[in-house]
């Protein structure tokens, strides 16, 4: 029997990158997957088929703009009607590298809405149902920028620090829900460092341009500043950690933020 048989997992921003890798790991453990993203029908079906091949017994696609509260509420009702979510992974996120002097209100509002407010709304709607079933997992994909800062990322850093803090509050509020046997209800963050995803490509491209377009040299130069391992993580590594956090054995791991950053935040 697969560990997540009978469980339903909603993974936001899961048609590509880290979100898809997490959804694939959960699918492999037998979870039904509520796939989410702003995607074409073809993109959504491609991701859904990948998850079915990984082992998910059922995959459904849910589309909601994470800046739109009524849309989030509709999605959460639809997922609840489908039988879940037992597992909620808030992965959807956006980033824009810009200085404080150059940032504008629209940039701030968009990043905070998707990265922080969107997670607030999914959590407030999902956690009571998890508690009633004695099992639930919220995994918020923060970032090393939920633990440390970098220049030219004020809106992004603010959103991720906020996500870490909000997760601690939720962990405390639901710490005594459920049981050891059922798995309880836990809320944790994963904080990836440099990971091979589309969101870092603008920064990689900028560094590669300094080396005549050599991407490998650009990556090495970028990582040398912050990530001591000088190795990019693969999204599948984040998926494996998320899967472990969903195991009932992790019932007492709550309110934590786990970096996957090659030593970045150890400095």
Q: 142 with 191: CB under 8 angstroms? A: yes
Helices and strands, number each (H, E), in the chain: 9, 7
pLDDT beneath 70, residues of the chain: 1
Question: Tell me, what's the pLDDT at 5?
Answer: 96
Question: Tell me, what's the pLDDT at 201?
Answer: 86
CA distances from residue 80 to 95, 127, 148, 154 in whole angstroms, order as listed: 29, 11, 35, 35
Annotated catalytic residue, options 62, 135, 156, 194: 156
Question: Tell me, what's the pLDDT at 1?
Answer: 65
Alpha-carbon distance of 78 to 83, in angstroms, equals: 9
How many other β-carbons are positioned within 10 Å of the β-carbon of residue 49?
11
DSSP letters for 124-184: HHHHHHHHHTTEEEEEEE--GGGTS--TTBHHHHHHHHHHHHHHHHHHHHTTTSS-TTTTE
Reading the block at residue 51, the tokens are 């998850």
When computed from its CA atoms, the radius of gyration of the chain, rounded to whole angstroms, is 18
Question: Tell me, what's the pLDDT at 266?
Answer: 96
Check if 174 is active-site.
no
Question: Tell me, what's the pLDDT at 153?
Answer: 96
User: Can you list the domains of the chain with their CATH numbers?
Assistant: 8-193+233-260 (3.40.50.720)
């Amino acid at each position: 029997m697969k560990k997540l048989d009978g469980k339903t997992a909603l993974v936001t921003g899961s048609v590509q990158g880290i979100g898809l890798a997490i959804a694939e790991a959960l699918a492999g453990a037998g979870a039904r997957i509520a796939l989410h993203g702003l995607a074409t029908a073809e993109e959504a079906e491609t991701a859904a088929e990948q998850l079915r091949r990984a082992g998910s017994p059922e995959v459904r696609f849910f589309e909601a703009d994470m800046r739109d509260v009524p849309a989030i509420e509709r999605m959460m009702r639809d997922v609840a009607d489908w039988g879940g979510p037992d597992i909620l992974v808030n992965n959807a996120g956006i980033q824009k590298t810009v200085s404080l002097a150059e940032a504008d209100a629209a940039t701030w509002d968009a990043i905070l809405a998707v990265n922080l407010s969107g997670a607030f709304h999914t959590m407030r709607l999902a956690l009571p149902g998890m508690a009633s079933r004695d099992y639930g997992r919220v995994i918020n994909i923060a970032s090393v920028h939920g633990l440390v800062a970098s220049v030219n990322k004020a809106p992004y850093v603010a959103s991720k620090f906020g996500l870490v803090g909000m997760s601690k509050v939720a962990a405390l509020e639901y710490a005594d829900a459920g049981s050891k046997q059922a798995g309880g209800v836990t809320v944790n963050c994963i904080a990836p460092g440099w990971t091979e995803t589309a969101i870092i490509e603008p920064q990689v491209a900028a560094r590669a341009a300094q080396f005549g377009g050599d991407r490998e040299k650009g990556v090495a130069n970028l990582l040398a500043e912050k990530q001591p391992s000088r190795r990019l993580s693969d999204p599948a590594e984040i998926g494996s950690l998320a899967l472990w956090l969903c195991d009932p054995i992790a019932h007492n791991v709550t309110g934590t933020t786990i970096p996957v950053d090659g030593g970045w935040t150890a400095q």
